[in-house]
């Protein structure tokens, strides 16, 4: 079984190995067969095998079928609409099923929105975390951002045009207005754009509307932001907890997040935050 990366924008990024695989595979499982057929047309490949759909709504059932075909000796290729299967796209379930069945799994490398955005962002790339698509519900999203506020590594997230402004605003509330970030949209396409700035500045810019496929890259916490080896005195930790609470998190939850990042007692942070909180 082969997990094959497809172009994230320009069809010319399709490798020769991808051409050969799509032409010769016995089965090509695609997130959307219509998208795959358009890619095949653009790169001039006529498949000799069967095209089947493999997406979030049928992947559990389809995985068994694909693994069975691969176990019987068929060459099974798994592709998504763009990028590498299983990275915020279907592919994980069939990979696990193949390993459990003793079916070899390999990958055909290619374009990646995660690495491309990280590379062009101008933010530290020696260590990073990938957070994928964040929760759509504001409360869940804000809790996640509060937990990530003290993450020292650069973070890469996927977003969408109708949510990116709200997500940037929530990031600014949790991480601080000036935390450096980059909005990377339409990577490798005609209207590619990389917009850099502080989170609050980018949130303001995004309110006018942002189109296309979007990847966000956010700088990690520094000592001044309350990173893991940063501000450990009670007053500074209390101030950080109050900042997170002002962004919509319960004070107790904010204190717990800050305490965990600093390696101190959450009760200590909570009590310090209560004492520092302005009187109503």
Domain boundary among 78, 108, 138: 108
Residues 6+ apart with CB under 8 A from 97: 63, 64, 66, 67
Range of the domain at 269: 231-276
Asked if 29 and 56 sit in the same domain, the reply is yes
Domain boundary among 108, 125, 142: 108
N-term to C-term CA, the chain: 62
pLDDT computed for residue 224 by the predictor = 59
Asked if 74 and 29 sit in the same domain, the reply is yes
Tokens 């965990």, residue located? 260
Q: pLDDT tier at 164 (50, 70, 90 boundaries)? A: very high
Q: pLDDT tier at 261 (50, 70, 90 boundaries)? A: low
Q: pLDDT tier at 280 (50, 70, 90 boundaries)? A: low
Q: What is the CATH number of the domain that holds 6?
A: 3.40.1010.10
Q: pLDDT tier at 84 (50, 70, 90 boundaries)? A: very high
Residues 6+ apart with CB under 8 A from 172: 179, 198, 199, 200, 203
User: Which residues of 123-226 form beta strands (DSSP E)?
Assistant: 128-133, 154-159, 180-185, 193-198, 214-218
155 and 129 Cβ atoms separated by less than 8 Å: yes
Asked if 191 and 123 sit in the same domain, the reply is yes
Asked if 156 and 217 sit in the same domain, the reply is yes
How many percent of the chain have pLDDT more than 70? 94
Asked if 204 and 191 sit in the same domain, the reply is yes
pLDDT computed for residue 125 by the predictor = 93
Asked if 55 and 129 sit in the same domain, the reply is no
Domain boundary among 222, 240, 262: 222
Half-sphere exposure of 78 (CA within 13 A, CB side): 28
Asked if 61 and 157 sit in the same domain, the reply is no
Asked if 135 and 200 sit in the same domain, the reply is yes
Number of structural domains in the chain: 3
Q: Which of 30-34, 65-69, 234-238, 271-275 has the lowest mean pLDDT?
A: 234-238
Q: How far is the C-alpha of 151 from the C-alpha of 154, rounded, in Å?
A: 8
Q: What is the pLDDT of residues 172-220, one digit of tens each?
A: 988 888 999 999 999 999 999 999 999 999 999 999 999 999 999 999 9
Residue 254 confidence (pLDDT) above 90:
no
Question: How many helical (H) and strand (E) elements, i.e. helices and strands, does the chain have?
Answer: 11, 10
Tokens standing for residue 99 = 């390993």
Q: How far is the C-alpha of 209 from the C-alpha of 91, rounded, in Å?
A: 32
Asked if 269 and 242 sit in the same domain, the reply is yes
Asked if 31 and 104 sit in the same domain, the reply is yes
220 and 152 Cβ atoms separated by less than 8 Å: yes
Q: Angle at Cα 75 formed by Cα 188 and Cα 47, nearest 5°?
A: 60
Asked if 178 and 158 sit in the same domain, the reply is yes
220 secondary structure, DSSP code: P
Q: Which of 51-55, 154-158, 207-211, 243-247 has the lowest mean pLDDT?
A: 243-247
What is the reported pTM?
0.77
Residue 270 confidence (pLDDT) above 60:
yes
Tell me how crowded residue 259 is: count the other CB atoms within 10 A of its CB. 19
Asked if 119 and 217 sit in the same domain, the reply is yes
Residue 231 confidence (pLDDT) above 80:
no
Residue 62 confidence (pLDDT) above 50:
yes
């Amino acid at each position: 079984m082969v997990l094959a990366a497809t172009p994230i924008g320009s069809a010319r990024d399709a490798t020769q190995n991808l051409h050969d695989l799509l032409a010769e595979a016995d089965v090509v499982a695609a997130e959307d067969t219509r998208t795959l057929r358009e890619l095949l047309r653009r790169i001039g490949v006529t498949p000799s095998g069967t095209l089947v759909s493999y997406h979030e709504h049928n992947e559990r059932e389809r995985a068994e079928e694909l693994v069975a075909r691969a176990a019987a000796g068929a060459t099974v290729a798994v592709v998504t609409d763009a990028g590498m299967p299983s990275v915020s796209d279907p592919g994980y379930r069939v990979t696990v099923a193949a390993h459990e069945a003793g079916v070899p799994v390999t990958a055909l490398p290619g374009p990646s929105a995660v690495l491309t955005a990280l590379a062009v962002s101008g933010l530290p790339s020696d260590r990073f975390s990938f957070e994928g698509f964040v929760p759509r519900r504001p409360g869940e999203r804000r809790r996640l951002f509060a937990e990530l506020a003290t993450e020292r590594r650069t973070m890469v997230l996927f977003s969408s045009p109708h949510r990116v402004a709200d997500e940037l605003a929530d990031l600014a509330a949790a991480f601080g207005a000036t935390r450096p970030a980059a909005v990377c949209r339409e990577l490798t396409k005609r209207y590619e754009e990389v917009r850099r700035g502080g989170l609050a500045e980018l949130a303001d810019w995004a309110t006018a509307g942002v189109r296309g496929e979007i990847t966000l890259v956010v700088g990690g916490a520094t000592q001044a932001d309350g990173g893991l080896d940063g501000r450990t005195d009670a007053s500074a930790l209390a101030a950080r907890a109050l900042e997170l609470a002002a962004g919509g998190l319960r004070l107790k939850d904010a204190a717990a997040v800050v305490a965990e990042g600093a390696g101190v007692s959450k009760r200590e942070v909570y009590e310090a935050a209560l004492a520092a909180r302005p009187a109503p």
